[in-house]
Amino acid sequence: MLDAHRLRQRARILRALRRWFDAHGYLEVHTPVIVPAGAMEPYLEPVQVRDGQLHTSPEFAMKRVLAAGLGRIYQIGPCFRDEEVGIHHSLEFTMLEWYRVGAGTPELIDEVEALVGAAAEAVEVEAPIFRRVSTSALLADDGDPDSWFHRWVSEVEPTLTMPTIVTDYPAWQAALARVRGDVADRFEVYLGGLELANAFAEEPSSSELRERATAADSLRRAAGRSPHPVDHAFLDAVDRMPRCAGIAMGIDRLVMALTGAPDIAEVQARHPELGVRRPPPGSG
């Protein structure tokens, strides 16, 4: 059953987010959801459509907008991932993504705290106070990515129940972020026990990203998955991008964290026939 109160809270949060971005000089943009390639990371699964894929985030298209000359942009819209459906996950969800030219991860951390505070005020709850901690303070890197990731998910993430910003991931977890020394210049945000946002100081070299895409496809092939298509227009735009940082934040999870909603379906107005949990692949 749809929850009208939750949907009103969601609307107030969205209004507050747009007011914040307008007050801070950001331009709202809208990019297509059907794209040639929906992802580059090895574990993301885009939804296939006739002429391409549904994007897992608007990142590639927004970076082409940055390369065209806009300096502060944001987008709020639907994204799609062909993953497990449950109380924290949905095939379709709403993403807020923003980019700021001339900024790095420290500036984006400040913006996250201010933006979440504005959203909290909109639903009359106390603004969370985030602690900041590096991954190395939470889990030692044993040099085995599979082991590290398994221990992070099973041992560390369940303990991140307080508002937390985690910084300085191992360099092998850079994805599309720059590498600074032996760490990836990125951070993730946890709120209400949920992974809420993921931010990068953006890697400015298309050749570096092509190498990472090749490595990611090798992992996919080893796992029996098809390689991701290549978005050549995005990669060509990367070399024209100015120095910038960007972040993607899950709106549904933000609403859940601030309102106490126990199930993502309560804040989505999702059709009940699309809200069932699917069995994992290979389970029969």
Where exactly are the structural domains of the chain? 4-274
CA 1/CA 265 separation, integer angstroms: 9
Per-residue pLDDT averaged across 218-245, rounded? 94
Reported pTM: 0.93
Distance separating alpha carbons of residues 265 and 2, to the nearest angstrom: 8
Three-state secondary-structure class, residue 53? strand
Average per-residue pLDDT for the chain:
93
What is the distance between the alpha carbons of residues 203 and 200, in angstroms, rounded to a whole number?
A: 8
Residue position matching structure tokens 């309102």: 259
**Average pLDDT rounded to a whole number, residues 182-209:** 97
pLDDT in tens, 8-29: 999 999 999 999 999 999 999 9
Neighbours of 165 (CB within 10 A): 21
Residue 188 confidence (pLDDT) above 90: yes
Domain 4-274 CATH (choose: 3.40.50.2000, 3.30.930.10, 3.40.800.20, 3.40.50.300): 3.30.930.10
CA distance from start to end of the chain: 30
Q: For residue 7, what are the CA distances in angstroms to 122, 126, 128, 201?
A: 13, 20, 21, 33
pLDDT for the residue numbered 284: 38
Name residues whose C-beta falls within 8 Å of residue 196's C-beta, 6 or more positions apart in sequence.
188, 189, 190, 249, 250, 253, 254, 257
Beta bridge partners of 78: 94
pLDDT category of residue 140 using cuts at 50, 70 and 90: very high
Candidate from 67-71, 99-103, 193-197, 222-226 with smallest mean pLDDT: 222-226
The region, left, alpha or beta by phi > 0 then psi within -120 to 50, assigned to residue 224 is left
- Cα separations in angstroms, 145 against 58, 128, 151, 171, 238: 27, 32, 10, 10, 27
pLDDT tens-digit readout, 48-96:
998 899 999 999 999 999 999 999 999 999 999 988 778 888 889 999 9
Give the up-direction half-sphere exposure of residue 141: CA atoms within 13 A in the CB hemisphere: 13
Report, as an integer, the average pLDDT of 107-128.
98
Of 280 and 220, the one with more pLDDT: 220
Tell me which of 259 and 142 has the higher pLDDT: 259
pLDDT band at residue 1, thresholds of 50, 70 and 90? low
